[in-house]
Amino acid sequence: MFILLKRILKSGWQNFLRDKETIFPTIFVLLIAIFLASLIFFLRDVGGFLITSIKEKTDVSVYFKEDVSEEEILKVKEELLKIPEVKSVEYISREEAFQKFIERYKDNPSYMESLEMVGKNPFFAALNIRAFEAYQYPVIDEFFEKKELEALIDHRSYPKSKVVIDRIFSLTFLVERVGIVLAILFLIIAILVNFNTIRLAILNSKTEIEIQRMVGASNWFIKGPFLTQGIICGILAAFISLFILTSLCWFLSPKLEVFLAGLNIFNLYAKNFWILFLIQISTGILLAIISTTIAIRKYLRI
């Protein structure tokens, strides 16, 4: 049994070295398919982190008229906290808003000059409200449509924020779906290309296969080298994909950290390294086995 396996592996390796013209395109297409599959899995974690960060930073603000007392605003806050969709409510007084503005723009002369020209505190007292989920903000916004509250409120930020919130989550959904479609497309292409490679290898070895049959070689002895050849292509493509993904994460991590809410993608990649490694190796081997098996059944009929 061991000798038979050794011969099959040796023959498969020889087929791999002999069919160089078809091997490289096969590895390239397998590489793209494996890379996309692992990238989608990895980006799912990145997307999850970003969505969580967006949810934590996304809020809507309600600004109250100047003559509304702090006591009245705090009563509104208490009523808001009774709504199931509300996660938190933060009260910001006019003075606190004024100080935050000065702290933020103290090094910007134009903003400071504009503030001096106004001659008074131009800011409104506000409630910053956060929901558990983005789709819950319309329910919260409806709360402020009551007549008794309309007399207290100067303006609300939700009508403007709604467009931004919806676009962020729609974009996230779209990117995820497009990625899945591309991965499936390249998986199919990889199967077809590898199928064609094995088909050519079978046709090139037609005489050799006929001789093997004449001398009584088993079906596994005939099929084994082609399966080995396909698996070698899949494993090589997986390792190249792993190298590319590692290099990209290492190179891009410091550059993207600012744009990704402080997320270090290389650290996230290192945390999921073994899962990604298994995904790439298993994807490469599985694609090779599927396409090779189809080719063997069609052209060897055994």
Q: Dump pLDDT digits (tens) for 152-198.
A: 888 887 766 667 666 766 766 776 677 677 777 777 777 777 777 77
Residues 294 and 171 in one domain: yes
What's the full length of the chain, in residues? Answer: 302
* Residue spans of alpha helices (H) in the chain: 2-18, 20-57, 70-80, 94-105, 109-118, 137-143, 147-150, 158-204, 206-214, 219-256, 265-271, 273-299
Residue of 14, 32, 10 whose CA lies nearest to 240: 32
Residues 269 and 196 in one domain: yes
Rounded Cα distance, 234 and 76, in Å? 62
Residues 37 and 130 in one domain: no
At residue 34, the pLDDT reads: 81
Residues 245 and 222 in one domain: yes
* Assigned token pair, 289: 């086995």
Does residue 158 lie within any of the structural domains? no
Average confidence (pLDDT) over 135-154 = 80
At residue 249, the pLDDT reads: 84
Residues 115 and 88 in one domain: yes
Residues 184 and 288 in one domain: yes
At residue 20, the pLDDT reads: 67
Residues 188 and 214 in one domain: yes
Does residue 49 lie within any of the structural domains? yes
Does residue 60 lie within any of the structural domains? no
Does residue 233 lie within any of the structural domains? yes
Does residue 161 lie within any of the structural domains? no
At residue 184, the pLDDT reads: 79
Domain CATH number, residue 95:
3.30.70
pLDDT at 207 over 80: no
* Number of domains, the chain: 2
User: What is this structure's pTM?
Assistant: 0.59
Containing structural domain, residue 101: 66-151
Residues 190 and 251 in one domain: yes
Higher pLDDT, 7 or 235: 235
pLDDT single digits (tens) 106-121: 777 777 777 777 767 7
- Identify the sign of the CA torsion 286, 289, 292, 298: negative
Higher pLDDT, 18 or 156: 156
The values of phi and psi at residue 122, to 5°, are: -90, 0
118, 151, 184 - which closes a domain: 151
Residues 227 and 263 in one domain: yes
Ranges 86-90, 117-121, 143-147, 152-156, most confident: 86-90
Residues 221 and 269 in one domain: yes
Residues 211 and 283 in one domain: yes
Average confidence (pLDDT) over 207-215 = 68
126, 151, 176 - which closes a domain: 151
Residues 26 and 82 in one domain: no
